[in-house]
Amino acid sequence: MPHGLTLRRIAKTVGKQTILRDISLDVRPGEFLTLVGPSGCGKSTLLRIIAGLDRQSSGEVWIGGRRADDLPPKHRDVAMVFQSYALYPHMTVRANVAVPLRMRRLKRWQRMPVVRSVVPSVRREETRIADKVDEITRSLAIEHLLARKPRELSGGQRQRVALARAMVREPAIFLMDEPLSNLDAAMRIQARAEIAQLHRRLGVTFIYVTHDQTEAMTMSDRVVVMLQGELLQIDTPETIYSAPADLRVAAFVGTPKINVLEGQVVRDGTLEAGGGVFQVPSGIAVGTRMSVGIRPEALKPADHGMAARVTHVENLGSDILVHATLASNDQTIIARLDPFQTARPTFGSEIKLAPLMERILLFDDAGNRIPSTNARSVA
């Protein structure tokens, strides 16, 4: 039975440095939740606090409806997969995967080799452990690796062994700390799909930490965006991308990055930015500074748009990335174009780009998104 998780006002300080600031969130049983943010934002520290490997300075951790602050890691019913995989180099794959079960089911004296050979009850338990290891490794297609040592495995194989060692405990919550960062690009794509399929098959709660927004957006039910120890937004990947609550979220999520044009309200309901004129909600005071966010795929060539000069073109096959400098202020913007619908612009050519009206995002001077209505381009 999967457990849910509740964090109540978690804070962590080390000396005068604040690592986590007032983090509160609820993770639903069986959910795949990803903590994403740049290196040093506190996401791995938060995961270690959930696991019981680190202690928060204040706040509460509740696992499965039970307060877990004073529970040691082995009693929290969680399993953690580390970035380094933390496999024992002198043990075979079979022995590595069996470690959690042997530690849980056998006393220290029962784990001695001579005892295993002479005590029938210990032999029977070892057989049950071996059967469980066989079952788990078959499910991850690594049963042919059982006799090998970690040094004989590829990065992808070591990652599966680490997953198998976590799965064999049948935890209520899986905690994964950057488990794919040591894999090459092609292997990461395959591993993402395998982990997502594993989650669907097991139906248990996954809490996943990564700095890679692609992993977060493609695998998760919900995403938590963190920056400098602060939780900026928690929502579905679709909402995080299309309706970011904060300009920092909008800037972090998306490749290439969102184009941000600095502008000013020049009259009621009208904003000028980047050489374009945009309609904004009325009632905003003239002179108010605002930012207009436009995703690269929401910029299209048009007869009436923002004038720009092409400075670089990247042909990605399925897309064309056009880098252009705005005539109004020399700011560089990027448009993602469909090569099958648009003639490929050339270096140095003049182009006019207009945003899709329904895709424009407005942010106030503090970086908070102005909700309810989208801005509308009028020039």
Per-residue pLDDT reduced to its tens digit, 300-336: 999 888 999 999 999 998 899 999 999 999 999 999 9
Q: CB–CB of 256/299 below 8 Å?
A: no
Give me the phi and psi of 15, to 5 degrees please: 65, -125
Share of the chain above pLDDT 90, in %: 63
Q: CB–CB of 133/99 below 8 Å?
A: no
Tell me the pTM.
0.86
Taking 80 as the threshold, does the pLDDT of residue 113 lie above it?
no
The pLDDT, as a whole number, for residue 1 is: 64
Least confident of 149-158, 177-186, 302-311, 342-351: 177-186
Please tell me which residue, 282 or 256, carries the higher pLDDT value.
256
What average pLDDT does the structure give for the chain? 90
Taking 60 as the threshold, does the pLDDT of residue 88 lie above it?
yes
Per-residue pLDDT reduced to its tens digit, 257-307: 999 999 999 998 889 999 888 888 888 899 999 999 999 999 999 988 899
Give CA–CA dist 202/21, Å, rounded. 33
Give CA–CA dist 249/108, Å, rounded. 50
Give CA–CA dist 361/363, Å, rounded. 7
Average pLDDT over residues 240-248: 95
Taking 80 as the threshold, does the pLDDT of residue 213 lie above it?
yes
The pLDDT, as a whole number, for residue 110 is: 75
Taking 80 as the threshold, does the pLDDT of residue 368 lie above it?
yes
The pLDDT, as a whole number, for residue 7 is: 97
Exposed (0-12), middle (13-18) or buried (19+): which is 293, by Cβ within 10 Å? buried
Q: CB–CB of 218/192 below 8 Å?
A: yes
Share of the chain above pLDDT 70, in %: 97
CATH of domain 1-77+171-254: 3.40.50.300
Strand order of the β-sheet with 332-337 is 332-337, 320-326, 299-315, 350-355
Residue 364 makes CB contacts below 8 A (sequence gap 6+) with: 288, 290, 291, 370
Taking 60 as the threshold, does the pLDDT of residue 377 lie above it?
no
Least confident of 10-14, 122-126, 257-261, 301-305: 122-126
Give CA–CA dist 95/198, Å, rounded. 22
Q: How confident is the model at residue 82 (pLDDT cuts 50, 70, 90)?
A: confident
Per-residue pLDDT reduced to its tens digit, 149-173: 999 998 888 888 988 998 888 888 9
Q: How confident is the model at residue 180 (pLDDT cuts 50, 70, 90)?
A: confident
Q: Which CATH architecture has domain 256-377?
A: Beta Barrel (2.40)
Instruction: Write down the domain spans for the chain.
Output: 1-77+171-254, 85-154, 256-377
Average pLDDT over residues 360-368: 93
